Structure 1
Amino acid sequence: MEKQKTVWGKFECKAGNSFQFSGGCCLFSIKRISNGWKITEIQKNEMNSSIKFDSISDFPEDEKCNVFQTGRSEQIHLLPALPVKPIVFKTKSQIKISPKQSIRLFLKVPCNVQLYYSQADSDHLMAEHELVRLSDTWFGEADNGEVAFAIGDFYSLQLDSTKTTAFEAICPVKINNNSNVPLELQRFLVHVESLNIYRKSNQLITNLVSIDFKGPDQISNILYSTEKNIHGENPVLIAHARNAGSKNILGKSFHFIKHFTQ
C-alpha cells in the first residue's frame, strides 16, 4: 500500500494485502483477493476522534465478510460522505438577526466513510459506514415536515476557531434577513445531501450555504457556492454531493417553535 498524506483519497492494494480502517465508532478491514475484495465490519461502542488506515498482516478471516468480485483494478478510494438525510441545528442561546442584516455560522457535521473500487462513483461503491451515530429528529409541523438528523447546538462565528475531528466537516452557513422583522434563530435545516466536500489543508469543508430569509411563512432562497476566504484560492474537491442538482434552490429552512404553542 502506498503512503498517503491523508487518509482520504486513492490507494493501491496488491493481491493478498490487507489493511484496516479505524475511526469514530467504526472499525473494518479489507483484503485484496483474486479479482475482488473481502471486507469486514466491527462496530465499536467507544468513540475514537482520530482516523487510522494501516496495513495489517493478519486479516480477520473468522469475522463475517462481504465479498465483492470487481475485476482486475487494484485501486480503492476511501472518501468522506455527508449524512444521507438533512441536518437540523437547534440553538440553546439567542441568535437574533435584525432586518437587512446577515450572520455567518460555522457548524460541525460528522461524516460517514465510503469505500469504492476502481473509481469513485455510485456504480463502484462497495461499502458505507457511519462514524458517528446521529439521532433522528423531525423538522417542520406535525403534518408537514421531514425526517432529519439532529447535530446539536454547536456553532462558531469564525472559521479559524472551529475545531473538528478528522471525520467532521465544517459547514459554513450565511443567513441573510431580507424581511422587515427581526429573525430569531431557533431551528434551521440544511440539506447536506446537496453539498460537496472540499479539503483545505487537513480540514474538510462543505459548500457555503447562503439562505435568504424573507419572512416566517415564506420560502427561502438557498444558494450553494465556494468562497476564496473559506475554501482557498483553488478549492480542492474531495467528495461530490449525494444529490447533485441546482446550486440555487427554494426550500423551507427555518422552523419556529412558537408555532406549536400558539
Structure 2
Amino acid sequence: MSNAPQQGGLWALQTVDPKNALKYELGPVTIWVCFAEHDWYVAHEWLESEPAVYRVSQLPLRDTPDDVEWRRWTAAKESMTVAVTPHLPDRPLVVKPSAEIKIPAGNRALFFVSIPLWFRVSVGHPRPIQLTEIPSVVLSNSWFGDVTSGELCYSLRTTATREVDSSEVIMHRATCPMHIHNNSPTELDFQRLCVHAEYLRLYEGANRLYTNHVKVAFRGEEHLSQIELSKTAPDIEPDCRLIQSARMQADQSLMKKTFQVLRSLTGV
C-alpha cells in the first residue's frame, strides 16, 4: 500500500459505520474516532518514530486497541460524519537550530522551518462540532523574552534547512519559509528564533504542507523585529491551495521580539 495520502481524501469528510471506527494514520500519531451508545469517542497514540504513512480507514470496533485511553463527548449525532483537519499550533514556537546561525550585517538568508501540526477532530454535518485537537508531536513549553513582556511558547529543535525536497511525503508538518534580513549594524548570531505560527496560513502542496512566506527584519538586539506575512501561497511548488486560515488575524506587518542572540543568553 502506498504511503502517500489518499487522492483527495485525507482531510475529506468521512462517514463512519456505527459498528466501525475510523483510523487515521498521520505520521507519528494515530487517531481513532467512533460513535457508540449515543456518544462520540476519540483515542490517539503517538509512535516513537515519524513514519511517512498517511491514510484513513475503517475497522470493526472489536479490532480497536485495548491499551489506549478513549475520551468521550456527549455531542449530538446530527450525522455519522467525521473530519480530521490539520492546523498550525495555537501559540508561538521557540526554534532552537541544531547549529548556531550567523548572518553578517546588511545580509539576508532564507531558511525553512518544519512546524509540527495539530489535528482537529470534528463531527457532524452541516454544522460540525469540534471535539478536540491532538498534536502530531508532543512539544515542551518554553518562555521567550523577559519576565514581564515575554510569552509562553512551545519549544522546537530543528535543523532550519536551506532547501526543501518537495517530493518527500510529509503531511504532519508544515514547511515555513522564513526570510531573515539583518538590518542592524552588527552580525546576527542567534541561538533561538521565535516563529509566530498562530498568525500563519496553511497551504497544501502535492506531498506536503506549507505556510505563507515570513519576512523578519532584525534591527538590533534592543529593538523589536518587523515581521511581514505574505498573503499569497508559497512559490516553493506550483498549485498550492489554501486549506486553513490563520488562528489569529494580523495586519500584514507585526512588531515582535523574534531573536535571542548568544549575548542575551549568556549575559556577556
TM over 0.5: yes
Shift of 1:82: 1.7
Report the Cα distance in structure 1 between the residues aligned to 2:167 and 2:110, rounded to whole angstroms: 13
Do structure 1's residue 98 and structure 2's residue 85 form an aligned pair?
no
Find the partner of 1:111 among 108, 117, 136.
117
Contact 2:106 2:182 in 1 (8 A): yes
Within a 5 Å distance, the mapping from 1:102-181 to structure 2 comes to 102-118=108-124, 124-160=129-165, 165-181=170-186
Identical amino acids, percent of aligned pairs: 24
1:206 to 198, 201, 211: 211
Letter in 2 for 1:20: K
**Structure 2 counterpart of 1:54:** 57
Q: Which runs of 5+ in 2 are unaligned?
A: none
List aligned pairs for 1:1-262, cutoff 5 A: 4-5=6-7, 8-16=10-18, 17-24=20-27, 26-32=29-35, 38-44=40-46, 46-49=48-51, 50-58=53-61, 60=64, 64-118=70-124, 124-160=129-165, 165-225=170-230, 226=232, 229-230=235-236, 232=238, 234-259=239-264, 260-262=266-268
Deviations 1:77-109 (A, max 9, x none): 221122222111223434222232210000111
Gaps of 5+ in 1: none
Q: Is the 8 A contact 1:156 1:162 kept in 2?
A: no
Write the distance in 2 (CA, Å) between the matches of 1:120 and 1:206: 27
Distance change in 2, residues 1:14/1:131 (3 Å): closer
Distance 1:168 1:224 in 2: 19
| CA distance, structure 2, for counterparts of residue 146 and residue 164 of structure 1 | 33
TM-score by length of 2: 0.82
Q: CA deviation at 1:24?
A: 4.9
Higher share in strand: 1
Tell whether the 8 Å contact from 1:173 to 1:208 is kept in structure 2 after alignment. Answer: yes
The AA in structure 2 aligned to 1:41 is A
- Separation in 1, partners of 2:126, 2:117: 16
How far apart are the structure 1 equivalents of 2:218 and 2:150? Answer: 18
CA RMSD of aligned residues (A): 3.0
C-alpha distance in structure 2 between counterparts of 1:207 and 1:149, whole Å: 20
Q: Shift of residue 250 of structure 1?
A: 1.1
Which amino acid in structure 1 is aligned with residue 21 of structure 2? S
Q: 1:34-57 deviations in whole A, cap 9, x for unaligned?
A: 9x7622314346344233321112
Question: Under a length normalisation based on structure 1, what TM-score does the superposition of the two structures give?
Answer: 0.83
CA–CA separation in structure 2 for the residues paired with 1:214 and 1:124: 44
Q: How many residues align?
A: 257
Distance across 1 between alignment mates of 2:126 and 2:227: 27
- 3-state secondary structure, aligned to 2:263: helix
Distance 1:94 1:111 in 2: 25
| Secondary structure at 2:114 match in 1 | strand
Q: Distance in 1 between matches of 2:40 and 2:146?
A: 45
